[in-house]
Amino acid sequence: MLFGRRYDNREISFQDNDRGLVLYRYGSSPEDVPLTAGTMIRVAAGQHIFIMKGNELTDVWDQGVYRLIPEMFPRLADTGAFRNHPYGPLDAELYFISTEPITERKWATRTPALVQEAGRVYRVRAYGTHDFHVHDVIGFILDVFIDRGLKNTYEVLGFLATRVAGAFTATVSEMGLPVLEVINHPGEISDLVKDKANRSLVGTGIEFINVLIEGSSLPD
């Protein structure tokens, strides 16, 4: 029986040495051991895990050490994962989420902000960095991962960069500031851009901690 088995000492964990991954699917690296019944899963501080069986979200856990058995993962057990694979790799996917701040991610406008001044329309572009963190893990899983279908850090970062760029465009277009003020003092509107960007993230479980406009320009 599964419950009477002497389990081995294999342990699953994830360490992001570069502190740049907000979402990691276990098994993406050739060094990852198989997701097998009875294996220990270690979830570090600042991490959560969740397991998907097909399109179904099963179990979600925060910091701790867990053995991959039905008693600890009851919703996964309800899908038949343990019954179908009692001693071998499970037909399920394990994901790690970092709730630590992810810093200095780049963004840039794809289309310029239109600023009207003295009867002319100026096209302003900008670029910079942003810092963010996941503050609501369940919201992140349901909205970003399941509803939006963003399955890895690269896709999440692209989504966030677009939100910041869109917030810059909307902020500059709405404020009616002189063009030279936008160009020469971009840092002064960074907080306004951050606030607008955060309003666009309501329900996603993500929050921008900081938005920095490093430069802006008038394309030829």
Range of the structural domain that residue 69 is part of: 11-98
My answer on whether 124 and 183 are in the same domain is yes
Q: Rounded to 5 degrees, what are φ and ψ at 116?
A: -95, 135
My answer on whether 198 and 117 are in the same domain is yes
Report pLDDT for 3: 39
My answer on whether 93 and 111 are in the same domain is no
CA distances from 218 to 44, 108, 152, 208 (A): 46, 14, 34, 26
My answer on whether 113 and 160 are in the same domain is yes
My answer on whether 38 and 92 are in the same domain is yes
Residues near 71 by Cβ (< 8 Å), separated by ≥ 6?
A: 3
* Contact predicate 10/40, CB 8 Å: yes
Model pLDDT for residues 150-184, shown as the tens digit of each residue: 999 999 999 999 999 999 989 888 877 778 778 88
pTM: 0.89
Lowest mean pLDDT among 52-61, 74-83, 194-203: 74-83
Domain boundary among 41, 75, 98: 98
My answer on whether 17 and 123 are in the same domain is no
Query: Which of helix, strand or coil describes residue 195?
Result: helix
* Contact predicate 109/165, CB 8 Å: yes
Domain boundary among 31, 66, 98: 98
Domain boundary among 35, 65, 98: 98
Report pLDDT for 93: 94
